Each structure stands twice: as C-alpha cells, then as structure tokens.
Amino acid sequence: MKKRPLGQTGIMVSPLGLGTVKFGRNIGVKYPTSFELPSDKELSHLIEMALALGINVIDTAPAYGTSEQRLGSLLKHCRHQFCLITKVGEEFQRGSSTFDFSQEHINYSIKRSLQRLQTDYIDVVLIHSDGNDLNIINHSDAIPTLRQLQSEGIIKAIGMSTKTVPGGIEAVKLMDLVMVTYNLHATEEIVVIDFAEQLKKGVLVKKALASGHLGGTNKESKGDNKLQRSLQHVLSHTGVSSAIVGSINPGHLRTNSKVANSLML
C-alpha cells in the first residue's frame, strides 16, 4: 500500500489505518450491531493481516477499554513496523466517560500508555476532545504538556481529535496534525482538511464509514459500491493522510484494503 506523509512529522502512513475500539470495548459504543470482543488469537491474525496488506497505522486510546493492553502483547514482535497512535484526556469507566486535561493526568496517562503498549515511545498522541475544543486548546495544560513530552523524545508527533470546525482550525495552527470526522454524510470539517493541507499539517480521518451507519436503500449505494464511494470521498482529498477504519472482521479489513489500494493507482 503506497504511503502518504503525515504532514511534516517525517512519518509515512498507509492511507488506511486500523481503529481498535472493538479490540477492547463493546459497551457504550455507537455501532449499529452488538459484538463480542475477539480472542487474542483472532486479534493476532488481524494484526498479521494488516501488516501483509501494507497497513502501518494503528489507532487506540485509554478510553477504548482494554485495547492498549491487548495491543501491547500483540505488537511485541512488530512494534516498529507500525505508526502507533494513542490519546490523552478521556477515561471510560463504569459505562461512562470522564475528561481530564491537566498536566498531572496527561503525564500519568502517557506513562500508563507506554506500560500498556510495552513501548518506550509513541508515534502520535492526540488530545481526546470532550467537544469543548477551544477551551481545551486555550485554557488547559494539554498542548504544553504534550510538547514537553515530545521534546523528551517520548512522543514523535502531537495533535487533537477535534469535534468542531473552530477547534480543528486552531489545532492545525498549534500542533503537528489533526483528526477530524469526514464522510459522505458529514462534510463540514472539509475546511479543516483544506486548511491543514495549506499549512502542510497531517490529517487523520475518523468515522470515514460513519461507524457503519452510512445506510442507503438504492442498489447503487449497497455493498462494495457504497464502500468504494465512501473511501473515494475521503481518500481522494489530497490533504488526508490516513483514514482510520475500525474492524475486527478479517473479510472487512481485506475489502477495505482492496478498495483503498485501488484508489491509490
């Protein structure tokens, strides 16, 4: 799979990344159908398949249940073959999320992520927004704390998973990359992608397939054609570095990869 630059970070990423919410959490999620957490064997097979398909981006977070812990064991033999992304700010416990963007909590969160992921550095750390993007950016310890950790070599690049256009614009100005929602049904954050491209900053796209809710009733919008149109919509934008698509289904991963590869020709 042909790689794209993640802005000016020096990191090259596959246009398709693997999201791992379903590796460790199946409650309080917004997918259209319920699911069981996969076994270690099933996840090991999925990681090996991702590598074989040329996917080198894995996205996780402390709020994804046991995802970080499970990845730590799964990636022991291949850690350096992946651009590993995690987040700070959100905690998910007892069925609900809480948020803490203080220096103390971020330092604690990064130390814990390093231990869980069994690594001595993290390629990308994103601020996991609670929706109040500008308040986090302008009135919390998040950015200076991450910049300090970056200067120590613990983190290679920092950014923010934003939820608003103004927040996305400001994140692009102040950090190395941004993660935005962009799909066939949610296009308002294209202005953030355009702005990031102008400034040569990295862009990760979340919910590229609308978390399985793209829907559609006519024949043209069903099956692989819908997938083709969805990924085409996202990956055809030259400002997009990688689209993060969560999956625990090997067939879906293979199909997603096939479509992404076809769009890179």
Question: Would strands 12-13 and 4-5 be described as parallel, antiparallel, or unpaired?
Answer: antiparallel
- CA distances to 63, 86, 88, 244 from 97, rounded to whole Å, are 8, 16, 12, 21
State how far the Cα of 108 lies from the Cα of 92, in Å rounded to an integer.
15
Q: Where are the alpha helices (DSSP H) in the chain?
A: 21-24, 40-52, 67-74, 103-117, 133-139, 142-151, 165-174, 190-198, 223-235, 250-264
State how far the Cα of 140 lies from the Cα of 169, in Å rounded to an integer.
17
Name the DSSP letter for residue 54. Answer: T
Between vectors from CA 125 to CA 109 and to CA 247, what angle results, nearest 5°? 100
| CA nearest neighbour of 142 among 171, 172, 114 | 171
Asked if residues 128 and 90 have their Cβ atoms less than 8 Å apart, the reply is yes
Q: Tokens 């996917």 — which residue?
A: 55
Catalytic residue among 31, 64, 108, 182: 64
Q: Facing residues of 5 across strands?
A: 12
Q: How many CB atoms lie within 10 A of CB 34?
A: 8
Whether 64 is a known active-site residue: answer yes
Catalytic residue annotation: 64
